[in-house]
Structure 1
Amino acid sequence: MTAAIKVHKMIRCKIHTHEKDRILAACDEEILGMTFRGDGVKIKVSEIFYGGESVTEEVFIERTKSVTIMNLVGNRVVDKAIKEGLVSEQSVMIIGEVKHAQVVIM
């Protein structure tokens, strides 16, 4: 009997600093470099902004604890943020077929 191998899909995280803010840009790794369009809105998941480290969901959640702004793109990363109570489902945009959320922590 062989054991099943569980594959964890990764999240790309990059922290930017702007004045007093620490901004977490995070996306599902598999959509990095893609562009999504819908309802007159376009979002490019650029390597420059989102292309930081490949991390697990657990590390992503840990990174959210040290930032003041979050910019999230991807169904998995946004769903994880909702599940953890970081994002309200009502504030999520769907652009094309991908979820996008922005959070400002006051």
Structure 2
Amino acid sequence: MIVKIHKTNDGRKIIAVCDDNLLGKKFEEKKLQLDLTSNFYKGDKKSEKEVLDLIKGAYIVNFVGEKSIRIGIMAGIINKGGVIRIKNIPHSQAIVL
């Protein structure tokens, strides 16, 4: 998975997690769009364990792709009902409290 960590002005982390095979692609369906070509997603390759450790300290996490969604569900910060699909690509966001 590819992970990009962003920081807000007050130091909180916003993390983008994207399946490797989706990075650099763009998906559109009706009025919805997933643009994985932007710098928001261009980060570093991480293992499943590394992703799990990183999202524990996050404020907001953005998940795109089957593997990424599975990690979010495993971590207990998203559930299947909170996942949307755009061109059959799963996407979810979570605020970690």
TM-score over 0.5 for the pair: yes
Question: Which of the residues 10, 16, 21 maps onto 1:25?
Answer: 16
Where in structure 2 are there 5+ consecutive unaligned residues? Answer: none
SS in 2 for 1:13: strand
Residue 80 of structure 1, CA deviation: 2.1
* Kept in 1: contact 2:77–2:96 (CA 8 A): no
2:58 equivalent to 1:70: no
* Kept in 2: contact 1:32–1:47 (CA 8 A): no
What are the superposed Cα offsets for residues 15-53 of structure 1, whole Å, 9 maximum, x if unpaired?
Answer: 100123210111001110101122420110135111111
2:86 equivalent to 1:91: no
SS in 2 for 1:48: coil
Query: How many pairs were matched up?
Result: 96
Question: Which of the residues 2, 6, 16 maps onto 2:6?
Answer: 16
Q: What TM-score results when the alignment is normalised by the length of structure 2?
A: 0.90
Calculate percent identity across the aligned residue pairs: 26
2:26 equivalent to 1:35: yes
In 1, the alpha carbon distance for the partners of 2:7 and 2:34 equals: 21
Residue 88 of structure 1, CA deviation: 1.3
Residue 81 of structure 1, CA deviation: 1.3
In 2, the alpha carbon distance for the partners of 1:75 and 1:35 equals: 16
Where in structure 1 are there 5+ consecutive unaligned residues? Answer: 1-10
CA RMSD of aligned residues (A): 1.3
Which of structures 1 and 2 has the bigger CA Rg?
Answer: 1
In 1, the alpha carbon distance for the partners of 2:8 and 2:28 equals: 27
